Structure formats: C-alpha cells, structure tokens
Amino acid sequence: MSSGSPSARTPQSVQPRRLIASLLGLFLSGGLAAARADRVDRPPNLLILVADDLGWRDVGYHGSEIWTPNLDKLARAGVRLERHYVYPTCSPTRAGLLTGRNPSRFGIHGPIDGRSMQALPRDVMTLAAALKIHGYATAISGKWHLGLRPEVGPRRYGFDRSYGYFHGQLDQYAHRYKNGDRTWHRNDAFVDEEGHATDLIANEAIRYLQEERRQPFFLHVAFSVPHYPIQEDATWIKPYELAIADPSRRLYAASVSHMDAAVGRIVEALNRAGRLRDTVILFTSDNGGQRDYRSQSDYGGKYGPYPTLGDNRPLRGWKGDLYEGGVRVPAFVFWEGKLGHAAVDETTSYLDVFPTLARLGGVDLAPTWRLEGRDIGRLLAGEAIRGSAPTLYWNTGGQASALHGDWKLIVTRREPGSVELYNLAVDPAEARNLAQEKPEQADALRAILAEQERLDR
C-alpha cells in the first residue's frame, strides 16, 4: 500500500450464534473465501477509519480531482457501500456507530460543542465494550467528540487505551479547541505533543499495530481532517498548485491527501506486522462535506475564511443538511482474501457497524442492547438480506427525516407545513418534491417519523 503524497430500524432481537466456528461457517456459506482451520478459534482484528467532513466526491474513486491512491486501492479491492448513510454532523454519527442506536435516543441531535456537559450515557453498551468483554484489546486514536472532559473520555466506554482529542475540532499543530481549551490527551489525561494531528493520530495507530499481543484487537482511528481549520505545509499543497485554482479548495485537497497517505502508512504497518489478512477494515466519513466556512472568529481569527471546502456532487446539500449530500458518504469494507470486490447499492448505515463487526468478532448480540442496525455480513459476501428494507431516521432538532426503501421524507419543524418527499430511485439529486403528488406515501413516512420520535428520550 503506497504512502506517497498526493436505521434506524425498530429494535429487534437477534438469534445468537455462540460459536465462532459457526459464525465463520455462515460467512463461508455466503461466499467468503475459506479461512484456515487453525484460525477458527481467533476472530479477525477490526479497524475502523473515519474521516472528518469528507464529501461524497472527495475521493478519487468517486471521480474527484483530489488524489487518494491508498483509499482508492482499498475501495477497488473491497466492498464499496454506495448508499451508506450517517448523520449530517459528527457527534451523532459517532454515537450511533459505537452504540448501534440512533443518537437521538440519547438526546444527541448535533455536535457536542463549546463547554457542554453533554456526553454519551455511561450505561449504554458500546462496540468497544462488547468486544472487550469478548477478549478483544481495544484502542482509539483521534477524535472522540462524545464527551468533552476526561471524566467522559473513551476509556469510560470500553476502550483500553485512548489517544487524541475530546472535542470536535482543533488547531492541527497547537492541539487546542477553538476557544483555547485543552483537548489533546493520552488515556483520557491531558498531554502536550508536537506535530500535525494527522501524523500524530497515524503514528499512534502504527505504534499500536506494531505491538505484540495474543488477542485480536479493535482499533478505531478517527482523523481530524478535512475539518477546518485546515493547516498543511508545502509537501501537501504543492502538487495541487496547477491542478486546483481555488486556494481554499486546494488547501482542503492537501488535507485529504495527507490523510490518505496516513491511511497508507497504517495499512503498511498492518502488512509488515503480518496482520493485514486477519484484519477487517471499514472506512467512512462522519458526515457529508461542508460547503464553506466564512467566520474568522474562532482560533483568534488566525484561520480562514474557507469559501470552498467539500464536494458532494452529484448529491444535493452539505454537512448539516438532511439531503443526501449531508448524510450519504463514501464508505467501504476491505478484508484481504475474504471479501471480493463489489459495489453494494442497497441501503446501509452507521448503525450497521456495531452488529456487523461484533458478529464477526464472535459476540452474541443481546436484545437488551436494543441495537437498531443490521448485521450486513451476508450483504458484504454478495448475498441479499431477506426481509423488508431498512428504515432510517434522523432528528436534528430543527428537522426530521425518514428513509424507507427509495422514499425519503424531510420535515422542517421551524417552517410549519414544510414537507419534502423524494423518490431516490429516480431522483437521487432530490430535485423534485413529490409531497403534493404522493400524499399517501408522505403520510406513510410521517407515521414512521411519529413512531421513531416516540422512541427518543
């Protein structure tokens, strides 16, 4: 791997499979390549890579002018999730990814910001905790954003080790939040480090991968880019001087390429450690790309404005929107020798991560966890999943949305009577509002919204 420069668904119980051998047998029958018999007693390592504010068309394999050779190589050899949904902002997506539950169940509707005391509830089961109970070593490197204080850092939620920052954004070199607060930590205790956050996050992940350990690991790598403030040196900017005229977009592209190279270094470390074939890699973004950032009030006015950031074409909308551009992101799963190359056009989401990876790890899924996603293992193996289409639900406070099959409803609460209905099968760009033409379909999705809202706290 080159390192060069540039649903929520209604909760349901799941029949447990108590033997890892049975789990692997299920996947083998679904078309995965045969695993060695002497590895049956050891489940795979699990690696999640999350970009921050990466847009739909900000990766090379989606036609971007940004060079992402390492991500492209993994995506083209793995299973691309071409209708993968998240929340339109970061804290909710991260909450849902780690709990398998809609973040609005916890009252998390948007970014945990400023000096908020809000945090993920301490009593909720997380993917890290479930895997740790099952014998996994667990670690996170990078962005947390589910509690802004050491008292509610990652180690309180199932991670053996933690490194990175608590907040949702930071100065990439000073490692301070926008109001000047400290946020960089190791094992939930503040520390001071030198270097660009992208490099520090990758270096910590690489150190972790180089360590000898007998048990499988779950490593969550959450990058700080391409979220603003964007600070990159000439190494990453120069290759785009002729390719991209807009200085703001050029800087954004440099940060994406920097992250891509970090991904390449991490995968190289896995390969050198002899663990690549035993590791499932999931890549995603926490939300769609941000259109721009014009304020200069943060960080003492040192950075920005950024008139051109992400690119979500051909999707409509941006980070913060419930249109496809805000909630549909690049994502793929790579497992060398086990998963073949494919592009999945069926709906998948951040809520599927917990049940899918936990099952791969041999974990029995308890009904008391109230998981709302699906185990999409069969889908990754090339099989259809029987049953009704998943239902996804978003609640950002000011707006709510439901997606069932190809139909999507958006209700803007601050504008009474504002209802939008789209058929994504024929109108993925959400250009034609069918709410008036299809009142019965709109009413059906309104009923789904009402049911989901009753499940919120």
**How far apart (Å, rounded) are the C-alpha atoms in residues 268 and 276?**
8
Written as six digits, the tokens of 370 are 């109230």
Q: Strand runs (DSSP E) across 106-234, as ranges? A: 137-143, 161-165, 184-186, 189-190, 217-222
145 as an active site residue: the answer is: yes
404 as an active site residue: the answer is: no
Residues 416-446 as b or e (16 or more Cβ within 10 Å = b): eeebbbbbbeeebebeeebbeebeebbeebb
Which of 90, 109, 175, 227 is labelled catalytic? 90
Please say whether the beta carbons of 332 and 79 come within 8 A: yes
Count of alpha carbons within 13 angstroms of residue 136, beta-carbon side? 30
Closest by alpha carbon to 127, among 325, 341, 366, 331?
A: 366
Which of 62, 84, 109, 145 is labelled catalytic? 145
Tell me phi and psi for residue 352, to 5 degrees: -80, -15
Partners of residue 142 on adjacent β-strands: 164, 222
Handedness of CA 107, 110, 113, 119 (dihedral sign): positive
**How far apart (Å, rounded) are the C-alpha atoms in residues 8 and 373?**
6
The residues carrying an active-site annotation are: 90, 145
